[in-house]
Amino acid sequence: MMDECSADTLPPLVMKGIEEFNRGEFFEQHEAFETAWRAEPRPVRELYQGILQVGVACYHLERGNLPGAQKALERGLRKLRRFTPECLGIDVARLIAEAEQLREEALRLRPERLEALNKSLFPRIVVRESPEPT
């Protein structure tokens, strides 16, 4: 799997999904990542699925659906762990850590107080700049 993780550029659709995710557009990012993972034949497609599912979990949390968020987070984190610490320039380890922190806070609040969830805890996808060709 490491060969596909060392590719030098992210597909444009994946970049679009990352930008939407980082803007908190969790419904929209779903479309971009779903199209990207369906088009990707290599195992890296699971990276795209994992990110999509973390975004879906954020979407559920925004709507007060803790059980749906938990299921989506578990699925997404399971997929993302295969790509740590980094893949295609994406800091996967950081995304996992932030998603786990979000999950812990959501579980602490429980469904009754989920509206108090601090939105700044929603994870962000950090992409390392590609090195200039030598």
Which pLDDT tens digit goes with each residue over 6-55? 776 899 999 999 999 999 999 999 999 999 999 999 999 999 999 999 99
Instruction: Write down all domains in the chain, each with its CATH number in brackets.
Output: 2-121 (1.10.3450.10)
Cα 87 to Cα 60, 83, 111, 133: the distances in Å are: 26, 6, 34, 18
Whole-structure pTM value: 0.93
Chain-wide mean pLDDT for the chain? 93
Q: CA 33, CA 80: separation in Å to the nearest integer?
A: 14
pLDDT value at 131 more than 80: no
| CA dist 121 → 2, 20, 24 (Å) | 29, 16, 11
| Contact (Cβ atoms closer than 8 angstroms) between residue 70 and residue 115 | no
